[in-house]
């Protein structure tokens, strides 16, 4: 097996651009060198092995380009533009990291999800952001190439998925054939000569033990049971880790004993750290995440960030808080979180952007790893939701190394992968700076943290970068952003500081908005609509027919409260606003507090329906429903106790009571009229069916029906 990593792009700008005033076609925006390269490629169109040849030529081009980058980096010389104070200060004499011969990011390849999500993706060759103003957001991904029996298992998983969806979506469409696995002998399975056509160098593949694991169920693979072997593999590897764990993932959403979150990755990490603390072991966990979720929608970013922070250190059930509660006074002695960021020069101005961590990788003890498509969240790990596949790799070829200061045997594949990543993150170009062999040692662990802290400090000084631990409340954001940036007040000093940044590693801001409530506002627009029309009408009618002192008898009941953690959620603000308006207009203050608010969950009734229909649930699902049921029972008892303490109130005006009675009597009218019309049309359809059976020619006349005339009602809608 060999690893073929997608290179972590150091380039966040592309200064050799076409006119930014409009989108450009590829043929109009190519540089002369690019046109020459593509023209040369066309000569090979009909030749055998055209794809392998093209890949090798592209690799050679990138290698030669990188060597020019490295040599030009050493010759950079900075100068500051001596412009007037009325113009923004920029850096002109500085050579950008971007090469001006090849433009690497054409059309929508030059993207930034934080600024704008993709649109019109069929026009892939057109720009959708202004590359002269907006820096590109680089991605960091890790992938591997596998051959042999494990590769055959991957192919069979694909075939299984293809066939189930072919049967479901395109059963009678011959353009989508059913697939069958190929037959082959062992010699063909273990032949690795083809790898030379896709790998960029001549190093031999590394022999390993590999196993496919997946998240799959009936909808995705047609299997009768839910398969969670990806989650099982993660937990098994964490529990059996002896020295260290290194994780790269796009998400980290894992909260124990939570009604909404089911996976147990966080629990496994917690148990392993507690064991290390009890045994006084030196044990390290490095976790690399995106600094912000990669979405353009602020509401989605808030929702994902909320669950990530709750998983790490916000709330009693977060990993850090549980560790502190059980004797680990400083969790960062064992586990630390990091992100990635880069900087560059765009149109003479310093810019920075987050490097979006998209990889799904875990390396344990330099002996085993898991890599694939699964994120650390329920969508990827529960099996019944997203379909995922990963490879679990155990090293067979061992080499000498050091772990925890002792000489140990480690795997050639896993250790070389982990060392490559650490050198990348820390910007290490030679082993004289720091040896990356032992990630458990105090010296290396502190060095890793120190570089992340230094880089973070520089980014905050130069760019006022977000997110940051300096902001603990939403109200602090505006003042922080208005603070003067060193890149604007003193570009030369800012540039000198940026040159001191090592690698790409920065601290993950676990204290970001720590003192504020970042619970997302679920479906805000729908809630507002629900409250502004029916709820306001009912509420105003109720208050209009009751005396002022009856306000103490008003109660608020919420259903389906489990998704908002048995709290009113964002509806609280909407109800409070409505009550303030009522107080302003009528001078009556209606109480709205925990005492007269009751929160139920309808999930227990779904549980009863499932049991009634003979559907069996696993232990985790059952316990979740039981907790929901117990909560609803307690709320019901609290509601009954509240009701019996309320004094009866009389209706103040008989006329109002009569008016209310008339309104109530008129409410069923639309339903009754609709039901009558439906019955009439059903009877007409039955009569027409009899006539068609006697005379088939009548079928062309269509089914007769009474037409309903829509008129505005004088009474309320139901």
Helix (H, G, I), strand (E, B) or coil at 247: strand
How many Å from the N-terminal Cα to the C-terminal Cα in the chain? 66
Q: Are 603 and 566 in contact (CB under 8 A)?
A: no
* 326 and 215 share one domain: yes
Find tokens 């500081």 and name the residue. Answer: 497
* Main-chain dihedrals φ then ψ at residue 398, nearest 5 degrees: -110, 150
What does DSSP say about strands 368-372 and 361-364: parallel, antiparallel, or unpaired? Answer: antiparallel
Residues 112, 153 share a domain:
no
Look at residue 69 and tell me if it is in a domain.
no
pLDDT of residue 200: 65
Bridge partners of 398, per DSSP, are 411
- 160 and 236 inside one domain: yes
- Structural domains counted in the chain: 3
Quick check: is 673 in a domain?
no
Per residue, the 3-state secondary structure of 196-220, as one string, reads HHCCCCCCCCCCEEEEEEEEECHHH
**Angle CA(159)–CA(165)–CA(168) in degrees, nearest 5?**
140
CB 403 within 8 A of CB 243: yes
Do residues 388 and 372 make contact, with C-beta atoms less than 8 angstroms apart? yes
Residues 6+ apart with CB under 8 A from 592: 556, 575, 576, 579
Q: Please, are residues 252 and 376 in contact by the beta-carbon 8 Å criterion?
A: yes
Q: Which of 603, 628, 656 is the last residue of a domain?
A: 656
Are residues 358 and 277 located together in one domain of the fold? yes
Residue 83 lies in a domain: no
How many alpha carbons fall within 13 Å on the CB side of residue 550? 11
Q: Three-state SS for 298? A: helix
Residue written as token pair 């409505």: 578
Cis bond before residue 467 (omega within 30° of 0): yes
223 and 306 share one domain: yes
H or E stretch covering 620? helix 619-644
Q: How far apart are CA 61 and CA 689, in angstroms?
A: 75
| 408 & 499 share domain | yes
CB atoms within 10 A of CB 345: 24
Q: Which two tokens stand for residue 712?
A: 């505005």
H or E stretch at 8: none
Alpha-carbon distance values, 711 to 572, 680, 708 (Å):
36, 19, 9
Is 238 strand, coil or helix? helix
Query: Beta strands 244-248 and 284-288: pairing type?
Result: parallel
Same domain membership, residue 337 and residue 254: yes
pLDDT at 614: 65
Is pTM beyond 0.85? Reply is: no
Do both 495 and 388 map to the same domain?
yes
Residue in the structure block whose two tokens are 């069923």:
668
pLDDT score, position 170? 87
Pair 498, 626 in one domain = no
Q: Evaluate whether residue 435 is within a structural domain.
A: yes
- Decide which of 601, 628, 656 is a domain's last residue: 656
Q: Distance of alpha carbon 244 from its chain centroid, rounded?
A: 25
Tell me if 538 is assigned to some domain: yes
Domain endpoint, select from 620, 640, 656: 656
Q: Distance of alpha carbon 271 from its chain centroid, rounded?
A: 25
Cα(274)–Cα(255) distance, rounded to whole angstroms? 17
Q: What share of the chain is helix, strand, coil (3-state, %, to 5)?
A: 45, 10, 45
CATH code, 254:
3.30.870.10
The per-residue pLDDT for 241 is 97
CA–CA gap between residue 373 and residue 387 (Å, rounded): 9
Is 585 within a domain?
A: yes
The full length of the chain comes to 718
Whether 523 maps to a domain, the answer reads no
User: CB-based contacts of 331: which residues, under 8 Å, 6+ apart?
Assistant: 273, 319, 320, 323, 324
Which strand (E) or helix (H) includes residue 529?
helix 524-530
In a domain, 22, yes or no: no
321 and 393 belong to one structural domain = yes
239 and 348 belong to one structural domain = yes
Phi, psi of 402 (to 5 degrees): -130, 135
Mean pLDDT per block of 10 residues along the chain (718 residues) reads 41 46 41 53 44 49 49 43 42 46 68 76 79 86 90 92 90 89 71 68 84 94 92 97 97 87 95 97 97 77 88 91 94 97 91 95 98 96 94 96 94 96 93 88 96 97 93 85 91 94 96 78 48 65 72 84 74 82 83 90 73 67 80 90 84 53 69 79 85 81 70 53
CA pair distance 336, 467, nearest whole angstrom: 17
Q: Are residues 232 and 349 in the same domain?
A: yes
Domain that holds residue 581: 533-656
Structure tokens at 375: 């994120």
């Amino acid at each position: 097996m060999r690893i073929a990593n997608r290179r972590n792009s150091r380039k966040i700008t592309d200064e050799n651009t076409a006119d930014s005033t409009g989108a450009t076609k590829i043929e109009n925006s190519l540089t002369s060198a690019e046109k020459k390269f593509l023209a040369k490629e066309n000569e090979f169109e009909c030749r055998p092995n055209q794809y392998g040849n093209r890949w090798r030529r592209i690799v050679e081009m990138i290698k030669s380009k990188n060597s020019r980058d490295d040599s030009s980096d050493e010759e950079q010389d900075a100068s500051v533009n001596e412009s007037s104070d009325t113009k923004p200060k920029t850096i002109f004499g500085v050579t950008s990291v971007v090469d001006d011969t090849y433009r690497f990011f054409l059309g929508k390849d030059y993207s930034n999800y934080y600024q704008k999500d993709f649109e019109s993706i069929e026009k892939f060759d057109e720009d959708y952001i202004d590359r002269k103003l907006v820096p590109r957001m680089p991605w960091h991904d890790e992938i591997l190439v596998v051959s042999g029996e494990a590769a055959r298992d991957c192919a069979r998983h694909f075939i299984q998925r293809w066939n189930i969806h072919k049967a479901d979506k395109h059963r009678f469409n011959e353009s989508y054939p059913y697939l069958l696995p190929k037959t082959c002998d062992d010699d063909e399975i273990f032949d690795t000569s083809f790898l030379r056509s896709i790998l960029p160098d001549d190093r031999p593949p590394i022999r390993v033990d590999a196993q496919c694991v997946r998240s799959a169920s009936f909808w995705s693979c047609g299997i009768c049971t839910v398969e969670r072997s990806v989650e099982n593999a993660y937990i098994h590897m964490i529990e059996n880790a002896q020295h260290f764990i290194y994780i790269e993932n796009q998400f980290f959403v894992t909260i124990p004993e939570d009604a909404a979150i089911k996976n147990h990755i966080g629990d496994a990490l917690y148990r392993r750290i507690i064991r290390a603390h009890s045994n006084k072991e030196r044990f390290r966990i490095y976790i690399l995440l995106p600094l912000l979720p990669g979405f353009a929608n602020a509401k989605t970013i808030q929702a994902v960030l909320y669950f990530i922070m709750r998983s790490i250190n916000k709330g009693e059930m977060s990993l850090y808080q549980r560790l502190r509660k059980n004797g680990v006074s400083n969790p960062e002695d064992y586990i630390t979180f990091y992100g990635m960021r880069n900087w560059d020069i765009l149109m003479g101005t310093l810019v920075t952007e987050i490097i979006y961590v998209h990889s799904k990788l875990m390396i344990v003890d330099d002996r085993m790893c898991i890599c694939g498509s699964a994120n650390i969240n329920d969508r990827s790990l529960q099996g019944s939701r997203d379909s995922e596949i990963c490879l679990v790799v155990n090293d067979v070829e061992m080499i000498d190394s050091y772990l925890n200061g002792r000489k140990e045997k480690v795997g050639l594949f896993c250790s070389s992968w982990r060392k490559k990543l650490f050198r990348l993150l820390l910007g290490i170009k030679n082993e004289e700076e720091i040896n990356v062999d032992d990630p458990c040692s105090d010296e290396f662990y502190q060095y890793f943290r120190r570089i992340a802290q230094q880089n973070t400090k520089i980014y905050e000084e130069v760019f006022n970068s977000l997110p940051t631990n300096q902001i603990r409340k939403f109200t602090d954001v505006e003042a922080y952003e208005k603070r003067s940036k060193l890149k604007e007040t003193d570009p030369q000093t800012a540039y000198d500081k940026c040159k001191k940044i090592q690698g790409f590693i920065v601290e993950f801001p676990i204290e970001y908005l720590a003192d504020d409530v970042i619970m997302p506002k679920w479906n805000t627009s729908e809630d507002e609509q629900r409250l502004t029309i029916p709820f306001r009408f009912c509420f105003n009618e109720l208050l209009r027919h009751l005396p002022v002192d009856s306000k103490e008898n008003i109660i608020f009941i919420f259903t389906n409260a489990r998704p908002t953690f048995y709290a009113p959620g964002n509806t609280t603000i909407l109800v409070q606003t409505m009550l303030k308006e009522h107080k302003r207009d009528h001078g009556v203050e209606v109480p709205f507090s925990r005492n007269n608010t009751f929160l139920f969950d309808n999930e227990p009734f779904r549980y009863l329906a499932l049991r009634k229909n003979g559907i069996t649930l696993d232990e985790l699902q059952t316990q979740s429903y039981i907790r929901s049921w117990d909560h609803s029972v307690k709320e019901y008892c609290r509601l009954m106790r509240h009701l019996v303490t309320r004094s009866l109130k009389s209706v103040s005006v008989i006329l109002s009571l009569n008016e209310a009675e008339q309104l109530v009597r008129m409410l069923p009218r639309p339903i009754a009229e609709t039901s009558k019309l439906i019955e009439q049309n059903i009877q007409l359809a039955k009569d027409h069916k009899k006539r068609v059976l006697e005379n088939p020619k009548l079928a062309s006349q269509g089914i007769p029906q009474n037409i309903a005339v829509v008129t505005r009602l004088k009474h309320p809608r139901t």
